[in-house]
Amino acid sequence: MRLSLSVPFLLIALLPSWAAAQAAAAACPAVLQHTQPRLQDEKPVNLCGYAGQVVLVVNTASFCGYTGQYKSLEALHSTYGPRGLVVLGFPSNDFGGQEPGTAKQIADFCENTFGVKFPMFAKSHVAPGAGRTVNPLFVALAQRSGARPTWNFHKYLVSRQGDVVISHASAVDPKDPAFVRDLEKLLKTKRDSPVTLELISSIQNPSDHGPVESLLACKAAQRCGTFPASQAPCGCAQAETACISLRAVQPFGCPK
C-alpha cells in the first residue's frame, strides 16, 4: 500500500522540475538548441544559455586576411554586451587551411594577439565538403538565412527571439556602418516583443532597405491574419510589396 501511494506523490514532486524544463525548452529558439564544446577544455555548453540575447556567430581562422576582425568583434562584444549582445566564435579550417592549430594554440593566439574574451568553441566544419560533418548550428543558420559561409569570418546575427537571422559576408567588418545598423535594430527589440510591430515602422521605400527590413517585411506579410492592419505601423499589403521588391536584391529572399 505504501508503495502504491508513493508513486503518485513522487510524480507530483517531479512535476515542478518537468514544467520548468518544458518552459526552458519553449523559451529557447530552435536555432540555439545545440550543445557545443568550449575551445579551452571541450566542456559542453548549451547555447540555450544565450536565449534572449542578440547572438553574433562567426567562423574564425588565425591565418586569414580577415583575422584582424577579431579586434572589431571583441570591441563589439565589450561595447554592446551590456545591451544584450553576445559574440560566439567558431574556429574552422574549412577555407584555405587557415586554422591548422590545436585548440590550445588557437586559444593562446586569440587571447595573446587580440585579447579575445568572448566565448570561443572547438574547431568544427562550417560548410559542406568531402568527408565533412557540418556543425549543426551552421546548418540551421544557413537554412534560416539562405546563405552559408564561403570563407572565414562569415557572420550571422540572430535576433533575441531567434526568428530573424541576418547573414553578412566575410569582407564586411563588424565596424561597418551597415552591419552596426542591423545590430542596433535587433538590439532595440525586447525579447517578448513581436519583432515586426516594433521595427517595421522604418519601412517606407523598400528599395532603400537591407536584410533586416526585408525580413521584417516578410514576417509582417506572413502575420496578416494574426493582427489588425491598424495595429501595425506598416500594413500587410505594403509589407508584402516590400518583401517582393527586396527578394530581387537580397540573396536569401523571404523566410519560410
Catalytic machinery residues: 64
Check: CB of residue 186 under 8 Å from CB of residue 54: yes
Q: Which three cell numbers stand for residue 194?
A: 513581436
Q: What is the DSSP letter of 155?
A: E
Q: Which three cell numbers stand for residue 234?
A: 506598416
Please give the torsion angle defined by the CA atoms of residues 195, 197, 203 and 207, in that order, rounded to the nearest 10 degrees. Answer: 50
| CA 184 – CA 192 distance, rounded (Å) | 17
Q: Which alpha helices (DSSP H) does 2-45 contain, by range?
A: 2-27
Spell out where the chain has E strands: 35-37, 44-46, 54-60, 85-91, 155-158, 165-168
Residue located via cell numbers 503518485: 8
Tell the burial category of 126 from Cβ atoms under 10 Å away from its Cβ (0-12, 13-18, 19+).
buried
Angle of CA points 146, 149, 154, to nearest 5°? 105
Q: Which amino acid belongs to residue 52?
A: G
